[in-house]
Structure 1
């Protein structure tokens, strides 16, 4: 008798990475049986559905990084996918502004990285910048990225879901991974068996990987990202406006985002969280996570790794609406500070920490063998990167399994 819960590929997590991996597997193996296990009642309930929706261009990252290649290629692929599937996209572009002479050096480094990565970036004087968005303020000059755009991430994920569902991929909702025994995957909704297991569980990817013997030197440290909506109108800001980031850490600083419907928001924060789904109050509190994460955050604080101490203090201040708004006002000529509304739904960044060096891992991490593959660090801009990154993951799976690409 045929086992109905037997699959060629079993993927954990129904975020954008899982959906695009399933899509890529289908494109190569037309007759394979694929299922996705999702502990929530719908897709994209965590990072994939709570991110800014910005399609990044790929100039923040060093040329030898996976992020550099996949962001550049992913930006093009995602824009093309949206156009072909009738998904809303806002071609609003992005400017990166400086506040002083020192930050001009940061802009120069971004331009060098953009050039090495083959990303279109243009210098703009203050007068030229006024043509793009007359409200933007910068010191002497700014960088302009014409290929940065905005989408609704949930809308995109639903399109991927519908596409793979038509090809026979099953998604089991309210089905949480518990443990594995060989090729048997035990969940709260019964046992599944698979020829190959793919872990794309986001905030819990490290814990699952550890059960398979992978990612032992890593742990997830969650950071809470909060946005604040500018409720007065949709016209005071025309483009995405970003500050010069500290390139030693993976956070881009508080910036203005133009959403797919032209709304304006500022954010995000990068506030250290105390458990993995620490979205609001004590919802989803887990004592074991709290103890483990507090242990590592205490070590980071005491040793001040990657300036964690000052980062934590500065980020905690952003719980104050006035502080948060004040940071954004540095990048514009005028804006009604009383025009901001409420904080929007928060997201959690599943940031990988190297437990040995106490450094945040800046690039994607993939570990696995001929039985399983584990996506350990699919952080921003993973949404932008998802289509080419999925190809990379499946390439590695086929290589580990000895299959022809």
Structure 2
């Protein structure tokens, strides 16, 4: 049996694994680093299926990691795209209110933005019309000038080539099976590591459990679907979002202006029944199904974080006319027949605290001097990825007593 030895072995070639590898090589150019990925290429799951929006950082409470990293990550990712000639649409974002009752939600978002040091402007209806004549709001709205859109697959491909140029090795179609001591056994090879980093997304919890971490948590998958507006690219000029329910991590159905100027509405946040439950029964796994449905049944019975209401609201979004109607409420005029096909669905790897039955809103990592596990890196993880990677590597350095590979 051939054993491949590396200073750092990273599991998962999504944006988090890619940026952690990049950060390690920036700090330790001589360290040997490899990334193991069960798919054929990078960003096959959440990282390549997300909206592509670079968030500004005003949704999150000031004491959260998300608040800290979203602002920094937005700046870092925009700079990375410009430096490498990647597509970037700096179109901004409007957050609109449908009636008087939602103005308090706008006030809270503005308060968070001010605390987090994020630029967010109050504008009246006349100013809304200047930014996007089609956007509809009640009395006033918020405008985020730093919100932008990228092509997430293009960014992840650039990160792959960036890492390769720095000497990072990639092993695709190489699935984690188990570990023993400092060995990782995969579907292809065995790898010996000085330090292991688990950035496996939808399977991060199960790998962490193998190492004795994240035992209080499990992943509950939520399916996100977008619907493309195919009539034209001009009916909406900017991202248009509703006032969110800040009690859960989902931002509601909104208009996204993509990097090429296209328009889409979404996403859904429909509870999925297994981790890669994209369509039909493809990838069905009985063990996952029984475990995940078991937790979803508990959430339904206890109605934790109003899970029942969430389920019913999200299931209604499978009705195309209802889904489109949610988008129509934020604009003056849109052609309901102008919506075309559904885009590739994504699955959000949302962490659940098994003891409290609450969704974990912030990033969570656990580890020791031997391994680190990224348990919760949900939206806006793509935006946050570069400063978050630096934070992860800082924690690794601290746990290893400042030692390097």
Q: TM (normalized to structure 2)?
A: 0.99
Name the CA distance, whole Å, in 2 between partners of 1:162 and 1:348: 25
- Show the counterpart of 1:192: 191
Name the CA distance, whole Å, in 1 between partners of 2:308 and 2:236: 33
- Show the counterpart of 1:204: 203
- Show the counterpart of 1:116: 115
Matches within 5 A, 1:244-323: 244-323=243-322
Name the CA distance, whole Å, in 1 between partners of 2:403 and 2:262: 46
SS in 1 for 2:336: coil
- Show the counterpart of 1:143: 142
Matches within 5 A, 1:5-404: 5-403=4-402
Name the CA distance, whole Å, in 2 between partners of 1:316 and 1:294: 16
Runs of 4+ deviating beyond 4 Å:
none
| Partner deviation per Cα, 1:22-77 (whole Å, 9 max, x = no partner) | 00000110100000000000100000000000000000000000000100000000
Q: Which runs of 5+ in 1 are unaligned?
A: none
Name the CA distance, whole Å, in 1 between partners of 2:386 and 2:217: 25
SS in 2 for 1:284: coil
SS in 1 for 2:89: coil
Post-superposition shift, 1:4?
Answer: 6.2
| Partner deviation per Cα, 1:112-146 (whole Å, 9 max, x = no partner) | 00000000000110001100000000000000000
Post-superposition shift, 1:241?
Answer: 0.2
Name the CA distance, whole Å, in 2 between partners of 1:404 and 1:294: 43
Paired residues, number? 403
Post-superposition shift, 1:110?
Answer: 0.2
Post-superposition shift, 1:100?
Answer: 1.1
Name the CA distance, whole Å, in 2 between partners of 1:14 and 1:374: 14
Check conservation: 2:3, 2:189, Cα contact below 8 A: no
Name the CA distance, whole Å, in 2 between partners of 1:311 and 1:384: 26
Q: TM (normalized to structure 1)?
A: 0.99
Post-superposition shift, 1:404?
Answer: 6.0
Name the CA distance, whole Å, in 2 between partners of 1:404 and 1:52: 38
| Partner deviation per Cα, 1:227-259 (whole Å, 9 max, x = no partner) | 000000000000000000000000000000000
Q: Which runs of 5+ in 2 are unaligned?
A: none
Check conservation: 2:183, 2:191, Cα contact below 8 A: yes
Name the CA distance, whole Å, in 2 between partners of 1:160 and 1:177: 22
Name the CA distance, whole Å, in 1 between partners of 2:116 and 2:299: 32
Check conservation: 2:3, 2:190, Cα contact below 8 A: no
SS in 1 for 2:337: coil
Name the CA distance, whole Å, in 2 between partners of 1:190 and 1:383: 29
Name the CA distance, whole Å, in 2 between partners of 1:278 and 1:104: 37
Post-superposition shift, 1:102?
Answer: 1.3
| Partner deviation per Cα, 1:267-299 (whole Å, 9 max, x = no partner) | 000000000000000010000000000000000
Name the CA distance, whole Å, in 1 between partners of 2:91 and 2:71: 17
| Partner deviation per Cα, 1:168-188 (whole Å, 9 max, x = no partner) | 101100000000001000001
SS in 2 for 1:391: helix
Name the CA distance, whole Å, in 1 between partners of 2:88 and 2:403: 36
Name the CA distance, whole Å, in 1 between partners of 2:6 and 2:260: 40
